C-alpha cells in the first residue's frame, strides 16, 4: 500500500545550512556566530576567554573585585552604574543590593542598551530593581531627581569591547568599516564629518590634546592635504593608511609598532572629540557631590591620562573643600593575573572617593 503524502501544513520545514566561512576559523565579526551566541555556545566562549581574548560581541568587566571591595554594598542601597555597557559590573552590584535595593543605570548607546537590559532581566533583575535610562551620565542631576540621593556611584569610562569589535561602529583601525566612532550613531556628527570640516589647527589640537600624539602636526597636515586633492576619508582603513604613509620617516626597526600606537592614539582622540567625552566627564564630576547621600562611595575607572587627570583633580578639590572625607591616594591598577587574562585591563586606573 502506498504511503499517503503529508498535508503541506504538516511537513517539517526544510533545514537550511548555516553559511560557511572561509578557512577553519571565522574572521569577520558577523561570522563568529558561536561568540555572538554565548548562551548557546558557552563552552566555545569559555575557550576564547581562557586564551586571554574577549569574545566578539561581549565585554569583560575590569577590576570587578576591587570595585566591589571598595563600594561595600549592602541590601537596600540605591546607586548608579553611570556607564552600563555590557552590564558586567551592574550584574555583580545587583547581587549585593537585593533585596530592597535599586540600581539606576545609564548609557547613550541605543544599540547595546536594550540588549543589556534584556540580558539582565533574563537573569532575574527586572524593572523592580534595575532602572535603565538612555542618557549621558553628564545628566546625573536629572536622574537623581528621580532616584533620590545615591549611596554609591560607579563609572567605567572605557569603550565596551562589543563597540570596538563591531566593524559597523568604526571604533577600531584594525577592522574595515565606516569612520564613525559615535557612541550614539543616531546623534551628532561622525568622525568622518569632523575630519571633513576641520582645519589643520583643529585636527592637530584634537590629536595632541586628546591623545598626546607626538606626530599630531604631521598627521593633521597629511589629512588636510588628502582632502585638498579631492580624496575622501570615510573609512577606518583610509585614515589608517594616511597615518601609515605619513610616518614612513620613522626608523625601520620600530616603524610598525610606532605606526600601530599612532593609529590607536588618533582613533582614540577622534572618538573623544566626536562624543565630547571630556566635556561630559567634567559636567558629571561637577554635579557628583550634590547627587550623593552622606557616606556615599564613588568609584571611577579610567583608561586615558586625560580622564584620570580630571578625576584626580576633582576628587582632590572636593577633599580639600571637606566635601569628600577620603579619596584614593593613588590609582588602583588591575592585577597581573587580570591583565594576562584580559589585556584590555592594562591601561585601567581605578580611583575612589567617600562622601563626608
| Structure letter (DSSP) for residue 276 | T
Write out pLDDT tens, residues 294-312.
Answer: 999 999 999 989 999 999 9
The count of residues in the chain is 356
Look at residues 109, 54, 80 and name the one whose alpha carbon lies nearest to residue 271. Answer: 109
Cβ-based neighbours of 125, under 8 Å, separated by 6 or more:
91, 94, 98, 103
Q: Which CATH code, of 3.30.70.600, 3.40.50.970, 3.30.70.20, 3.40.50.150, is assigned to 64-161+278-355?
A: 3.40.50.150
Instruction: Sort residue 261 into left (φ over 0), alpha (ψ -120 to 50) or beta.
Output: alpha
Q: Is the pLDDT of residue 36 over 60?
A: no
Mean pLDDT across 60-64: 90
Rounded Cα–Cα distance for residues 191 and 336 (Å): 34
Q: What is the pLDDT of residue 51?
A: 47
- CA dist 110 and 11 (Å) reads 40
Among the residue ranges 191-195, 226-230, 345-349, the one predicted with the least confidence is 345-349
3-state secondary structure 153-194: EEEECCCCHHHHHCHHHCCCCCCCCECCCCCCCCCCCCHHHH
Q: Which long-range contacts (CB under 8 A, 24 or more apart) does 191-195 make?
A: 191/270, 191/271, 191/273, 191/274, 192/233, 192/234, 194/270, 194/273, 194/274, 195/223, 195/227, 195/233, 195/239, 195/270
Angstrom distance (rounded) from CA 177 to CA 171: 9
Q: 332: which DSSP letter?
A: B
Judged by DSSP in three states, 140 sits in helix
Which run of H or E residues covers position 48?
Answer: helix 42-50
**Banded model confidence at residue 4, pLDDT cuts 50, 70, 90:** very low
Return the number of other C-beta atoms located less than 10 Å from residue 248's C-beta: 9
For the chain, the domains span 64-161+278-355, 185-274
Residue 232: Cβ within 10 Å count: 12
Inter-axis angle of helices 200-211 and 255-274, to 10 degrees? 100
Residue in the block written with cell 565579526: 29
Among 27-36, 186-195, 314-323, the range scoring the smallest mean pLDDT is: 27-36
In the block, cell 573623544 appears at 272
pLDDT for the residue numbered 15: 57
Q: How far apart (Å, rounded) are the C-alpha atoms in residues 220 and 270?
A: 12
Q: What is the pLDDT of residue 38?
A: 55
pLDDT surpassing 70 at residue 100: yes
What is the reported pTM? 0.82
- What distance in Å separates the CA atoms of residue 101 and residue 119, rounded to the nearest whole number? 19
The model's confidence at residue 32, banded by pLDDT at 50, 70 and 90, is very low
Q: How far apart are CA 163 and CA 59, in angstroms?
A: 9
Whether the CA torsion 152, 157, 162, 168 is positive or negative: it is positive
The pLDDT tens digits for 123-132 are: 999 999 999 9
Q: CA 103 to CA 127: how far, in whole Å? A: 10
| CA dist., res. 81 & res. 155, Å (int) | 6
Place of cell 583608561: 303
Is 148 in a helix, a strand, or coil?
coil
Mean pLDDT of the chain: 87
185-274 folds as DNA polymerase; domain 1 (1.10.150)
- How far is C-alpha 102 from the geometric centre of its chain's CA atoms? 23
What is the spatial distance between Cα 107 and Cα 140, in angstroms, rounded to a whole number?
A: 11
Amino acid at each position: 500500500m502506498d504511503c499517503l503524502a503529508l498535508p503541506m501544513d504538516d511537513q517539517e520545514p526544510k533545514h537550511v545550512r548555516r553559511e560557511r566561512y572561509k578557512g577553519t576559523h571565522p574572521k569577520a565579526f558577523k561570522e563568529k556566530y558561536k561568540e555572538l551566541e554565548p548562551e548557546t555556545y558557552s563552552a566555545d566562549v569559555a575557550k576564547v576567554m581562557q586564551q586571554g581574548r574577549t569574545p566578539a560581541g561581549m565585554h569583560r568587566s575590569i577590576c570587578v573585585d576591587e570595585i566591589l571591595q571598595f563600594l561595600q554594598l549592602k541590601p537596600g542601597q540605591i546607586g548608579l552604574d553611570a556607564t552600563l555597557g555590557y552590564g558586567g559590573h551592574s550584574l555583580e552590584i545587583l547581587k549585593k543590593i537585593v533585596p530592597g535595593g535599586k540600581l539606576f543605570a545609564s548609557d547613550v548607546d541605543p544599540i547595546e542598551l536594550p540588549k543589556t537590559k534584556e540580558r539582565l532581566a533574563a537573569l532575574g533583575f527586572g524593572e523592580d530593581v534595575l532602572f535603565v535610562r538612555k542618557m549621558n551620565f553628564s545628566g546625573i542631576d536629572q536622574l537623581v531627581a528621580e532616584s533620590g540621593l545615591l549611596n554609591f556611584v560607579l563609572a567605567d569610562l572605557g569603550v565596551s569591547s562589543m563597540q570596538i569589535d563591531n566593524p559597523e561602529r568604526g571604533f577600531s583601525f584594525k577592522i574595515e568599516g565606516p569612520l564613525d566612532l559615535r557612541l550614539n550613531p543616531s546623534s551628532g556628527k561622525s568622525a568622518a564629518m569632523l575630519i571633513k570640516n576641520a582645519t589643520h589647527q583643529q585636527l592637530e589640537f584634537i590629536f595632541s590634546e586628546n591623545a598626546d600624539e607626538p606626530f599630531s602636526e604631521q598627521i593633521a597636515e597629511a589629512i588636510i592635504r588628502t582632502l585638498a586633492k579631492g580624496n575622501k576619508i570615510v573609512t577606518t582603513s583610509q585614515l589608517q593608511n594616511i597615518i601609515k604613509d605619513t610616518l614612513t620617516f620613522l626608523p625601520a626597526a620600530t616603524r610598525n609598532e610606532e605606526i600601530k600606537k599612532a593609529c590607536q592614539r588618533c582613533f582614540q582622540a577622534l572618538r573623544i572629540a566626536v562624543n565630547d567625552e571630556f566635556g561630559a566627564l567634567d559636567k558629571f564630576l561637577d554635579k557628583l557631590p550634590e547627587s550623593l547621600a552622606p557616606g556615599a562611595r564613588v568609584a571611577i575607572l579610567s583608561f586615558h591620562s586625560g580622564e584620570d587627570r580630571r578625576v584626580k583633580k576633582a576628587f582632590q578639590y572636593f577633599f580639600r573643600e571637606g566635601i569628600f572625607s577620603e579619596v584614593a591616594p593613588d590609582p588602583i591598577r588591575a592585577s597581573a593575573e587580570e591583565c594576562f587574562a584580559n589585556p584590555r585591563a592594562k591601561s585601567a586606573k581605578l580611583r575612589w572617593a567617600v562622601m563626608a
